[in-house]
Amino acid sequence: MSLNSTFGHMNKMKHIFLILITLGLTAIAEFIPIAPQVLPLPGDQVAVLFEKINSGENIELNILYQALNGPQTTLRAYAARELGKYGDHTSVPYLIDALADESFHVGARYVTPGMETTRYWANESLKTLTDEDFGFVWDDPIEKRNEAISRWRDWYLKE
């Protein structure tokens, strides 16, 4: 192999590497949250929030945002649902971020299986709050869900 072909091969590899890096950064950027960061709901507030939700009490949006970001999977789904009732335009980025939530909770019988997921309720709440629908389906393959999440994000960032 000549010196020129070796350098040519190295340049090709460098370009391929740069393309892969760029694609990787694009994929990572797609999952960067668009909502302002909030701390998760403190553990000692979980039972209190469940009680407020069950009693139909109006809940501060920031508390719902914290619950949506917390470790308790059932509460995340409930928070996404509640934001459809009490939320406003400030809730939209939190709900868009929640579309990527892969968790589910079990224990109750739901009319629709998706009701056990945060992403199902996030999508329902987004449609309620915005009168928009970008084709997100909670049980679609992840590639299709990511495409719909991208459409929600693009719409929101243009608004």
The answer to whether residues 95 and 25 belong to one domain is no
The answer to whether residues 75 and 98 belong to one domain is yes
Query: What's residue 27's pLDDT?
Result: 40
Query: What's residue 36's pLDDT?
Result: 96
Query: What's residue 21's pLDDT?
Result: 42
The answer to whether residues 15 and 41 belong to one domain is no
- CA distances (Å), 15 to each of 7, 120, 151, in order? 12, 41, 30
The answer to whether residues 71 and 140 belong to one domain is yes
Query: What's residue 114's pLDDT?
Result: 76
The answer to whether residues 83 and 13 belong to one domain is no
The answer to whether residues 149 and 79 belong to one domain is yes
**In terms of residue numbers, what domain contains 14?**
1-30
The answer to whether residues 12 and 43 belong to one domain is no
Domain count, the chain: 2
The answer to whether residues 104 and 133 belong to one domain is yes
The answer to whether residues 12 and 69 belong to one domain is no
User: Whole-angstrom Cα distance, residue 76 to residue 82?
Assistant: 10
User: Whole-angstrom Cα distance, residue 17 to residue 10?
Assistant: 10
Query: What's residue 12's pLDDT?
Result: 52
Query: What's residue 13's pLDDT?
Result: 46
User: Whole-angstrom Cα distance, residue 15 to residue 102?
Assistant: 35
The answer to whether residues 26 and 42 belong to one domain is no
Q: What is the pLDDT along the chain (159 residues), one digit of tens a residue?
A: 554 554 444 455 444 444 444 344 334 335 699 999 999 999 999 999 999 999 999 999 999 999 999 989 999 999 999 999 998 999 999 999 999 999 887 766 677 777 889 999 999 999 999 999 999 999 999 999 999 999 999 999 998
The answer to whether residues 26 and 77 belong to one domain is no
What is the DSSP track for 76-124? HHHHHHHHHHH--GGGHHHHHHHTT---B--SS--SSGGGGBHHHHHHH
The answer to whether residues 39 and 7 belong to one domain is no
Entry pTM:
0.79
